[in-house]
Amino acid sequence: MTITGFLQLAASTVIFLAAATCAKSWALGPSAAKLILTIALYSAGNLIMLRLVREFGMASAFSLSAVIQLIAVNLIALTFFGERLPMIQSFGILFAIIAVGLITFGSVAK
């Protein structure tokens, strides 16, 4: 991955995390402004992802983005919003992280 690719992935991740936080905020207290901001943030993140798909391919771009967001969104949900996961869901998230990591970095092992 190039430096520009890494920076784009980081930017999209930050934008998606902000969008997820806005979406949760909207769910707790709906308003038109929160909804518009959420949609704008998700749109901006997806535009960056389109660039990454063109540059690195769909599988790599979405797999990397998915594992990073999976970890980060769960950290936000658990720490800032006080959500709790049952043990089976916690294991599911752990296995999902491992699976996406294997998919993403498996091509490096060739």
pLDDT digit string (tens) for 65-100? 888 888 888 888 889 889 899 999 999 988 988 887
C-alpha to C-alpha distance for 71 and 87, rounded to whole angstroms: 16
Q: How confident is the model at residue 34 (pLDDT cuts 50, 70, 90)?
A: very high
CA angle 58, 22, 6 (to 5 degrees): 35
What range does the domain containing 74 cover?
3-108
C-alpha to C-alpha distance for 90 and 83, rounded to whole angstroms: 12
Is residue 106 a contact partner of residue 64, using CB atoms and an 8 Å limit? no
Q: How confident is the model at residue 106 (pLDDT cuts 50, 70, 90)?
A: low
Is residue 97 a contact partner of residue 70, using CB atoms and an 8 Å limit? yes
Domain count, the chain: 1
Q: Average pLDDT over the chain, rounded to whole?
A: 88
pLDDT of 40 over the 90 cut: yes
C-alpha to C-alpha distance for 41 and 38, rounded to whole angstroms: 5
pLDDT of 109 over the 80 cut: no
Could you give phi then psi for residue 93, rounded to 5 degrees?
-65, -45
